[in-house]
Amino acid sequence: VDKFKKYKGKVDLVFTSPPYYAKEVYSDAETQSAVKFGTYKEWKDGFLYTTLKTAYEWLKPDRYLLWNVSNVGFGTGKNGIRTDKGCIYPLEKDSIDILESFGMKFIRKEKMILASMPGSNRIKEDGKPNALNSCRINGKWVKFEPIFVFKKVA
């Protein structure tokens, strides 16, 4: 970590994706962000904010952050993490709000198409998918994850 500090304010591009709160928990170790910060508010304030602040501080002025994040919904909590059943956590809006609070400029949202629609192709009776982020390509519904493009303005 100390070796990397010399690059603070000298990075041209940051392209990353955080864990989606308690949706991506690989163990019950304290190092897992959703375990360390047990509620969404604690996670947002302690992990999401800190991660975005680090990305911002390491960028040069007039350079870009590509942030791959998506809102997440839960049926029930996983690995003992307290989630609200049926709740959709607004990772997209919270990320945008945090980045704009630093003075970063939102440029656009790109769509990263997924190879398959996780959770099977859940299509409603009206023919539209239940997925939070989906679009039609060649007549077929596909899921995408947003990539938010921000610029650090001088």
SS (HEC) of 66-133: EEECCCEECCCCCCCCCCCCCCEECHHHHHHHHHHHCCCEEEEEEEEECCCCCCCCCECCCCCECCCC
How many Å apart are CA 71 and CA 26, to the nearest integer? 19
pTM for the complete prediction? 0.82
pLDDT of residue 82: 52
Asked if 52 and 99 touch (Cβ cutoff 8 Å), the reply is yes
Residue 36: which H helix or E strand, with range? helix 33-36
Helices 91-101 and 49-58, axial angle in degrees (round to 10): 40
Buried b (16+ CB within 10 A) or exposed e, 58-75: bbeeebbbbbebbbbebe
**pLDDT for 12-64, tens place per residue?**
999 999 888 877 777 778 777 877 888 889 999 999 999 999 999 999 999 99
**pLDDT for 52-97, tens place per residue?**
999 999 999 999 999 999 988 776 544 444 555 567 889 999 999 9
pLDDT of residue 39: 85
